[in-house]
Amino acid sequence: MPDQAFVVGLTRDLIRLDTTNPPGQELIAIDLIERVLDEAGVSSARYENARGRPNLVARLKGRGEAPPFLLQGHVDVVTTVNQSWRHKPFGGEIVDGYLWGRGALDMKGGVAMMVSAVLQAHGRGGAPGDLVLAILADEEAGGNQGAKWLVDNHPELFTGIKHGIGESGGVAQHIGGQRFYPIMVAEKRGCQVLVTLRGPGGHGSIPARGGAMAKLGALLTTLDSARLPVHITPPVKLLLEGMRDALDEPWKGRMAALLDPARADATLSEIGPMGANLDAALHNTVNATMVSGGLKINVIPSEVQVQLDGRLLPGFGPEDMLRELRAVIGPEPELEVQLVGPAQPEIDLSQLELFAAVLREADPGCVPLPYLVTGGTDARHFARLGIRTYGFLPLNNPADFNGATTIHAADERVPVSALEFGARCVFEAVMRYRG
């Protein structure tokens, strides 16, 4: 049975394997995890759609006292190109109590926690129900070779599963002297928008005013200075109410203001680093990410296109995005909308208290709360099978470390002690699950 050092060692070994996506090459990480499982007597099988990019699924027999439970995580990571790191991104160095490297937080550390929990359950004769461990490829590029492909082609692997855990939840947030642990219960849905701007073309030597390029500048300036309307969805309402009730002034008043759509936007600038995440949690959002237009430097383009990365709150659709966006940018630009991923499932809070109880016992005095993830995870693919995923990979990070700023960025790292804390919490949760 693994000890607490196991999760640190496995995370370190995984970080040292470069599984940057693209191209992915998750095979090298799957090889390692398959070997670890096999040495402990846990059988697994590979499922591969693209060469060198397998997924690994293991099903550990339980005691028949609960439904099966899913633990799903990905081993691909995002690029480190053009990032300046203080320690090698694939070195897996431990410095000053932190394990450094790409994937430390997103999400090789979380995968190691899950593997550790499965092996501990195996050593104790199994969990109440079967544990299904899915180690996935391609999450960072949408899951087409990973969770999406598995759900489409091998749904039988997940028969009977109602609930599971995945990434994006359980990381300590320190606010007003209080420790909060947000547990992911919902996520936003992608809604890509293509904006086409048109105007007179011409020769680059003749000054032009009001053309497509000028409209592009005006559009970007407008988007930079405006927000779409405030919407307080159920998980965000519960989050803000829980924080309000646990905090003293002035934080209590700030959380109360965020619950008021008329005051929320003005309050976001008062709450420091957490404001960006709450901003995204309170609005449908768009960010301009790609621009195309023009064929030659001496030809003024008559058409420019801008791609917007849009994200929809639960309960909202593309028609809402178009209506809110039109109110900001006006009627002229041509807009095309494309939804990303499956429809959002109904929010399920039935297992929230299970995870909250584990955290309250592991960290007395903390406040666990439901949380809306403003990005997207593989949870959306498993939701098509009726599986509700909770983001629960706890880290009791210290107040002076904001790990969120290092995810997908330079100097990604995780406290060694936090990895050990998370492994204990995940194990406790899977052993207590009753469905």
Kindly report the pTM of this predicted structure.
0.94
**Residue 58: inside a domain:** yes
Can you tell me the distance from the alpha carbon of 364 to that of 224, in angstroms, rounded to the nearest whole number?
A: 42
> Average model confidence (pLDDT) for the chain?
96
pLDDT at 343: 81
Q: Where are the beta strands (DSSP E) in 263-387?
A: 285-293, 299-300, 303-312, 334-340, 367-373
My answer on whether 164 and 191 are in the same domain is no
| pLDDT(380) > 70 | yes
Give the CATH number for residue 162.
3.40.630.10
**pLDDT more than 70, % of the chain:** 100
Amino acid 1: pLDDT: 65
Mean pLDDT of 127-150: 97
The answer to whether 418 and 396 are in contact (CB under 8 A) is: yes
Provide the β-strand partners of residue 48: 54
Split into its structural domains, the chain has a count of 2
Q: How far apart are CA 238 and CA 373, in angstroms?
A: 14
The confidence score (pLDDT) of residue 346 equals: 86
180 within domain boundaries: no
Residues 239 and 133 in one domain: no
Range of the structural domain that residue 316 is part of: 187-340
Model confidence pLDDT, tens digit, residues 158-191: 999 999 999 999 999 999 999 999 999 999 999 9
Closest to 146 (Cα-Cα) out of 37, 73, 78: 73
Return the C-alpha torsion angle 249, 354, 418, 188, nearest 10.
-70
> Is 146 found in the same domain as 28?
yes
Tokens standing for residue 245:
């009730």
Please check whether residues 160 and 264 belong to one and the same domain.
no
- Beta-carbon contacts of 104 under 8 Å, excluding residues fewer than 6 positions away, are 11, 15, 412, 413, 414
On whether residue 177 sits in a domain, the answer given is no
Q: Is the pLDDT of residue 62 over 90?
A: yes
DSSP letter at 283 equals B
* pLDDT tens profile 338-371: 998 888 888 999 999 999 999 999 999 999 999 9
The predicted structure's pLDDT at residue 274: 83
My answer on whether 393 and 267 are in the same domain is no
- Of the pLDDT bands very low, low, confident and very high (cuts 50, 70, 90), residue 296 is very high
